[in-house]
Amino acid sequence: MRLRAAVLDLDDALLDFKRMKRLASDAAGRAMVRAGAELPWPAHDVGEVLFGEYLGDLDGDRVFESFLKRHHQQKLRLDQHAVDRITAAAVNAYLEAKQLHTRPHPTVTRTLLELARRGWRMGVVTRSPRFKAYQRLDLAGLTDFFDFVRTSEDEPLQEHQFRDALDVLQTKPQETLAVGAWGVEVVQAAKNLGMPVAWAAYGKPGVEAPAGVDHPLRRFQDLLRVEAFHGG
């Protein structure tokens, strides 16, 4: 059946999310040291360690403060004034770098333009908090391509959330492509509804595609090849 719509994940599929997080973590780490943090690594290595801890809670709001309290070497010098001063410097540096480096993966914008020209309807389904998802789309210049954003705040990212997306798009599962860098459980949720799945291999370098994926994508523009495969 010909494809007419897509439900797309945000981070690692549309956006080069981990690159942004790494660069922003580097900026935050350097800012911590400049603000007086006494950490067991050179300033240029702090961001790498911070990013490694961020991977466990990519959308967490207390990462910098908890990182500082765990790793500051002179605990007696870390009163609330010091915590707030150092954390504020880290957050400001992080946000500045985030503004600068939140970008789509290569070929995303021009491919979305072409799919929109061909009449595709598109929406975003993501684990990210809703407002952060809209912020990232706005920074990347992608908001206007999508009819809706559904997030983990609406309901869990599994079968019923894909079903809700189909209702909004008013398309059949077989003509709606699910596109993401998801794990096997989310891939299977889309497959259970009869949706074909394209997997963003470019967003997960070195990771094997989960079982059930129909179309591994080396680049985002490979979606045009997928459309042709389905009779576009």
CB 47 within 8 A of CB 26: yes
What pLDDT sits at residue 39? 95
* Best CATH choice for the domain 5-16+103-229 from the list 3.10.290.10, 3.40.640.10, 3.40.50.1000, 3.90.1150.10: 3.40.50.1000
H or E stretch covering 17: helix 17-34
Between CA 171 and CA 6 the distance in angstroms is 10
Q: Which amino acid is at 60?
A: G
Domain boundaries along the sequence of the chain? 5-16+103-229, 18-101
pLDDT band (50, 70, 90) for residue 230: confident
What pLDDT sits at residue 156? 67
Look up the pTM and report it: 0.87
The one-character DSSP state at 143 is G
Contacts of 89 (CB under 8 A, 6+ apart): 31, 32, 34, 35
Q: In what order do the strands lie in the sheet with 5-8?
A: 149-150, 121-125, 5-8, 176-180, 197-200, 215-217
CB 202 within 8 A of CB 111: no
CB 8 within 8 A of CB 180: yes
Question: For residue 200, which of 175, 167, 178 has the smallest C-alpha distance?
Answer: 178
Contacts of 136 (CB under 8 A, 6+ apart): 10, 11, 15, 17, 102, 128
Across the chain, what does the average pLDDT equal? 92
Q: Which residue has the higher pLDDT, 76 or 94?
A: 94
- pLDDT, tens digit (0-9, with 9 covering 90-100), for 2-57: 999 999 999 999 999 989 999 999 999 999 999 999 999 999 999 999 998 877 66
- pLDDT, tens digit (0-9, with 9 covering 90-100), for 97-129: 999 999 999 999 999 999 999 999 999 999 888
Burial label for 188, CB within 10 Å (0-12, 13-18, 19+), is middle
